Amino acid sequence: MAILALGINHATAPIALRERVAFAPEHTPDALRDLSTLPGVGAAAILSTCNRTELYVDHEPGSEHTALGCLDRFHGLGHAELLTVSYRYQDEHAVRHVFRVATGLDSLVVGEPQILGQLKQAYRIAQDARTLSGPLEQLLQRSFSVAKTVRTETRLGANAVSVAYAAVRLAGQVFDEMPKRQALLVGAGETIELVARHLLGAGVRRTTVVNRTLERARALADRIGGQAARLADLETHLADCDILVTATHGNDPVIRADAVKRAFIGRRRRPLFAVDLGVPRNIEAAVGDLDDVYLYTVDDLRNVVEEGLRGRREAAVQAESMVSLHVEEFMAWWRERAAASTIVSMRKRADRARSDVLDRAIKRLHNGATPEEALEFLSHALTNRLLHRPTVGLRSAAALGDEEFLEFASRLLALEPLNSSE
């Protein structure tokens, strides 16, 4: 059997096509069972995310294109359309690809950690569908440990590569103990939600979402376990917060310096970390001139993000080298596994020959042969039985002039060359 990785991703296909090829989790088990019944296909797993859909299969050589039939049946896409946007990796190249996917080296944002969780989910779904076994199962298991090792020994995922994450990372540098801090988020869009989730991961004690539309503020607050407030009450919440992040659409600042001054009465010089992610800006520039205020704009964070991307690119070089080493280890294990099955088959055949010859020698003893005669028969018969097929093969190779085969057989059997006088 061989291993095949076949798929499309953000680099090969537009989102409209990726959406058509995606598998919903509830449909994946049926697709896996369908895939595993295709001619030449053994074990199978499917990874499907917003940026990629990939099929991983054990298959018989020569059946590389049959996996596309799974996409044909489930999504109504023809071979011709898929072939122009898909990629196929075989054996060692497939192993390398899976390891790179698990570590985030093949992601749209290099080093992003979500893909590993998605790959683990694909593994569990395939296990539950009973379509995972053998080298493919071992490959996915190894990919998890490779990803963990790469993230532990490199800084591939350590740098901020989004403004939302950069904002929270900077807040952590200002405040030593994030679980003691209170955050105030102005806006309820995607950017603010990303900030909220990063703050949640950092363990911030309380998060308040303020928005012009209270219903939207409540919807986001419910998703993150925070609280919602009206925009009219913004100044009240300014007095309590340690971290302020804004991302709203509007031409005029939502937060002005005089409002912050009033909110600071009684704060006793407690610092305020403020991040303005709005374009145009949501926080009046004069706020940054106030004592104990650390104000960052989206441009400031873009510099942090660019530094993070450079750091990840540098770490990616080290990560690629580590992946190469793990690919070599896996391929060595795979080759040894193939050799092991050959060795088992050879030993079983030799044992059958031994058992048959032994039975015949015992019968000779029962028929009156002396022990010496029975042993002599056993040794000659066993030698002839074990050497018959190799002898036939060597004679055939010699007749064909196959010097390469003869040289390999000599090394395999550890034969010493005979002297010309012998």
Tens of pLDDT along the chain (422 residues) come to: 689 998 889 888 887 888 888 888 888 999 898 888 887 788 999 999 878 899 999 877 665 556 655 665 666 666 666 778 889 999 999 999 999 999 999 987 788 777 898 999 999 999 999 999 989 999 999 999 999 999 899 988 777 677 888 888 889 888 888 999 999 999 998 889 989 998 998 999 999 999 999 999 999 999 999 999 999 999 999 999 999 999 998 888 999 999 999 999 878 888 999 999 987 899 999 999 999 999 999 888 877 777 777 888 888 999 999 999 999 999 999 888 777 777 778 888 888 989 998 999 899 999 999 999 989 999 999 999 888 888 888 888 888 888 888 888 888 888 776 554 44
What values do phi and psi take at 11, rounded to 5? -85, -20
CA atoms within 13 A on the CB side of 110: 20
Whole-prediction pTM value?
A: 0.62
| CA-wise closest residue to 326 among 143, 136, 84 | 143
CB count, 10 Å around CB of 252? 9
Asked whether the beta carbons of 239 and 247 are under 8 A apart, the reply is: no
pLDDT on residue 113: 79
3-state secondary structure of 297: strand
Report DSSP letters for 304-363, one per residue.
HHHHHHHHHHHHHHHHHHHHHHHHHHHHHHHHHHHHHHHHHHHHHHHHHHHHHHHHHHHH
pLDDT on residue 62: 62
Asked whether the beta carbons of 374 and 362 are under 8 A apart, the reply is: yes
Catalytic residues, by residue number, are 50
Q: What is the CA radius of gyration of the chain?
A: 33
Distances (CA, A) of 53 to 42, 68, 103, 252: 19, 12, 17, 43
3-state secondary structure of 183: strand
CB count, 10 Å around CB of 56? 30
pLDDT on residue 296: 93
As a whole number of angstroms, the distance between CA 284 and CA 295 comes to 10
| CA-wise closest residue to 378 among 359, 394, 396 | 359
3-state secondary structure of 174: helix
As a whole number of angstroms, the distance between CA 341 and CA 211 comes to 66
What dihedral do alpha carbons 17, 20, 21, 22 form, nearest 10°?
Answer: 120
Which letter does DSSP use for residue 11 in this model?
Answer: T
397 burial type by CB count under 10 A (0-12 exposed, 13-18 middle, 19+ buried)? middle
**The two three-digit tokens of residue 306, written as one number:** 């660019």
Q: How far apart are the first and last CA of the chain?
A: 45
Q: How far is CA 353 from the centre of its chain?
A: 48
**The two three-digit tokens of residue 168, written as one number:** 């929270």
pLDDT on residue 276: 93
What dihedral do alpha carbons 162, 168, 174, 180 form, nearest 10°?
Answer: -170
pLDDT on residue 350: 86
Are β-strands 2-9 and 87-90 bridged in parallel, bridged antiparallel, or unpaired?
Answer: antiparallel
2-159: CATH superfamily: Glutamyl-tRNA reductase, N-terminal domain (3.30.460.30)
Distances (CA, A) of 129 to 29, 93, 366: 6, 26, 57
pLDDT on residue 141: 97
Asked whether the beta carbons of 103 and 323 are under 8 A apart, the reply is: yes
pLDDT on residue 60: 75
**Domain 163-302, second-level architecture:** 3-Layer(aba) Sandwich (3.40)
| CA-wise closest residue to 319 among 150, 81, 141 | 150
Domain ranges of the chain: 2-159, 163-302, 336-412
| CA-wise closest residue to 277 among 164, 109, 161, 172 | 164
3-state secondary structure of 271: coil
